[in-house]
Amino acid sequence: MGSYTEIVWLGINVFLFVEFYLKFLVDRWFYTRVLLGHALPWARAPAACLNFNCMLILLPVCRNLLSFLRGSIQCCSRTAARQLDRNITFHKLVAYMIAFHTAVHIIAHLFNFEYFMDAQLNRNSSLLTFVLSEIGSGDNASFLNPIRSNETNPTFVMFTTVAGLTGVAITLALILIITSSVEVIRRSYFEVFWYTHHLFVLFFVGLVFHGFGRIVRGQTENSTATNNPLVCANRFEEWGRDGSGCEVPVFAGNQPGTWRWVLAPIILYVCERLVRFYRSHQKVVITKVVMHPSKTLELQMRRKGFHMEVGQYVFIQCPSVSRLEWHPFTLTSAPEEDYFSAHIRIVGDWTQALYEACGGDKNEPQEAWKLPKVAIDGPFGTASEDVFQYEVVMLVGAGIGVTPFASILKSVWYKRIQNNQEVFTKNIYFYWLCPETQAFEWFADLLHSLEGQMEERGVSDFLSYNMYLTRWKQEDAEHYWVQHQAENDPITGLKQKTHFGKPNWDNEFTSIASKHPRTKVGVFLCGPPQLGKSLEKQCLSYSEGEVKFIFNKENF
């Protein structure tokens, strides 16, 4: 969901707000505004925006739907396909918008209930507000003021009406969902996040039934013909008398319509969950476990009917570690291999538990039957799928963020070196930024193999790779002095020397732009948001003339 999508989405929100605000200023709602003033449109306009955003909130997390759409539209427009790559960001934006409109809606209705109560308490028959409050005497009568007695209070009404009860349930569910979604809780207490996030079921049930109380009422169309408020409002003492021309007004609430907005997304989401449930119960066999020195666990797996593309990712669950937790990992294998693999860096409780379950803390090899069972959901598409659509590509990985590019470079090896297959991509510029030397260990073997075989085939200019050590230690500084004298880099073992510090992106973009005029360069990043913002700015500033840098970022 790219910036264009977000601009359109914001535009629709503004349009709906203004449209429904003005809608409640027409004559049908004249008598309702006599009681409530402008708190009425301030309550109803955000309600319309809530319907729209609640229609959208589930769609960005329907990953199978997004993968299908991405594959379908990719052949027509890569720009349109890239709009789907920011789905989680868009999901969060929609959630914030729902929270904002909910707050406005609640505040406006708090004023509304006070106004309803004031009109009922001020029992002066010479006031139009009191006369309007007295219309209707039975539960099914045509009333305007839902507070039917002066011996009650707004709080009692709030907890004894359909609208009040559902409104409280919706609000509590939303507060819990949003507060438990902050990164600290999500990373440290995932199960709290998981359970509270599933309160969305209660949220949607409450949302659908919220309007069934029909508390906010307007004059019916037939009634406006017999009681024109512009004529009869000042003659309320004569209402219902023969010859007055002003009958007692009749009021009714709008038909509940929220279900029309959310029914289709709910059906799509239920189908999504059924597909996930089916796939997660297919048998997965761990064929090999590799413990890399950099505390990175490599799992090589097989599953019947599994098919992947470069740069895709899967969700992995290990029931012996947690039955609730599913974590996304980029696939590091190539589509040409007869297995699929993921490299998992040990950085938290879940990854540590998986590491131990796979025997990472033991010296002797783990027997196959002792390996834990895992479930796989996916694969799902990402921006990296488009890598072979560009003639020139920049791949930028930070730390373990190099994983999608492992898949890409392996696929390059199979296509160009092993199978002599022509690919559209003519040049790959690979940048890997690591904070410490240990992070280079597991990936350097693949680069070493690529380096040697591309030299043998005379295609060494196809792949240009640049390794950056971003944090210096004393021993690293000593390497810097000796690496110029050694044939291979002492850190990685590669002929290409490791750089110390961070890349000078201005120099890199200038160099690539000068080497490849009249070219669209695909820039792919898997790394932290700060680096993403920096590279996106570089892409925009250097996309001048005939050279275009197209920015793509991995998002899970």
Tell me the pLDDT tens digit for each residue of 41-62.
999 999 999 999 999 999 988 8
Residue 417 has pLDDT above 70, yes or no: no
Confidence of residue 485 (pLDDT cuts 50, 70, 90): low
Q: What is the pTM of this model?
A: 0.77
pLDDT at 477: 53
- The pLDDT score that the predictor gives to residue 215 is 79
- With cut-offs at 50, 70 and 90, classify the pLDDT of residue 1: very low
Query: Mind listing the pLDDT tens digit for each residue in 309-342?
Result: 888 888 998 888 888 788 888 888 888 888 898 8
* CATH dotted code for 383-553: 3.40.50.80
pLDDT of 9 reads 92
Q: Would the pLDDT of 76 be above 80?
A: no
Q: Which helix (H) or strand (E) holds 291?
A: strand 284-292
Query: Domain 284-380 is in which class?
Result: mainly beta
The pLDDT of 89-98, averaged and rounded, is: 92
Mind listing the pLDDT tens digit for each residue in 132-187?
Answer: 888 875 555 688 888 777 666 667 777 777 888 899 999 999 999 999 888 888 77
Q: Which residue has the higher pLDDT, 486 or 420?
A: 420
Model pLDDT for residues 259-287, shown as the tens digit of each residue: 999 999 999 999 998 988 888 888 888 88
User: Quick one: pLDDT at residue 82?
Assistant: 65
pLDDT tens digits for 225-264?
888 888 888 888 888 888 778 888 888 888 888 899 999 9
Residue 512: the pLDDT is 87
Percent of the chain scoring above 90 in pLDDT? 15
Rounded CA-CA distance 233/554 in Å is 61
Going from N- to C-terminal start, the domains of the chain cover 3-161+215-274, 284-380, 383-553
Among candidate residues 201, 95, 113, 200, the one with its CA nearest the CA of residue 163: 113
* Same CATH fold assignment for domains 284-380 and 383-553: no
Q: Which residues of 198-212 are buried (b: 16+ CB within 10 A; e: fewer)?
A: ebbebbbebbbbbbe
* Mean of all residue pLDDT scores within the chain: 81
pLDDT, position 430: 85
pLDDT of residue 529: 80
Q: 10 Å Cβ neighbour count for 273? A: 12
As a whole number of angstroms, the distance between CA 224 and CA 215 comes to 20
- In this structure, are strands 548-553 and 520-526 parallel, antiparallel, or unpaired? parallel
